[in-house]
């Protein structure tokens, strides 16, 4: 299964997370208030046909606030779930 590296970066000034490597277009998530993960999910739905698994490389959130850390953790979990799904054999999908 091909592995693709994703790059996750926080712009703490404009409060925008960018995820590149998923598709041709960079996925942007605004986290200034409510956080809409829909662009990430839609992008993953596109990728599900490729059978690629993703390795997430993120800038360290050690010095970030707790919100940043939670968002990073959530994205990491979503990507991990995605990787589990694409690794499933057809009879395990249901």
**What are the residues binding other proteins (CB under 8 A)?**
33-38, 40-42, 44-46, 48-49, 65-67, 69-71, 74, 77-78, 81-82, 84-86, 88, 90, 93-94
Q: Is the CB of 55 or the CB of 88 nearer to other proteins?
A: 88
Which residue's CB is nearer to other proteins, number 55 or number 80? 80
Tokens representing 68? Answer: 């940043």
| Closest by Cα among 6, 31, 30, 32 to 19 | 6
CB of 71 to other proteins, least distance (A): 8
What are φ and ψ of residue 75, in 5° steps? -60, -40
Whether 3 and 53 have beta carbons less than 8 Å apart is answered as yes
């Amino acid at each position: 299964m091909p592995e693709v590296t994703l790059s996750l970066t926080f712009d703490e000034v404009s409060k925008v997370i960018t995820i590149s490597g998923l598709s041709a277009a960079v996925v942007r998530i605004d986290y200034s208030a409510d956080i809409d993960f829909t662009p990430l999910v839609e992008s993953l739905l596109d990728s599900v046909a490729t059978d690629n698994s993703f390795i997430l490389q993120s800038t360290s959130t050690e010095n970030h606030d707790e919100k940043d850390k939670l968002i990073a953790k959530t994205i990491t979990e979503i990507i991990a779930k995605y990787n589990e799904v694409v690794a499933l054999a057809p009879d395990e999908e249901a």
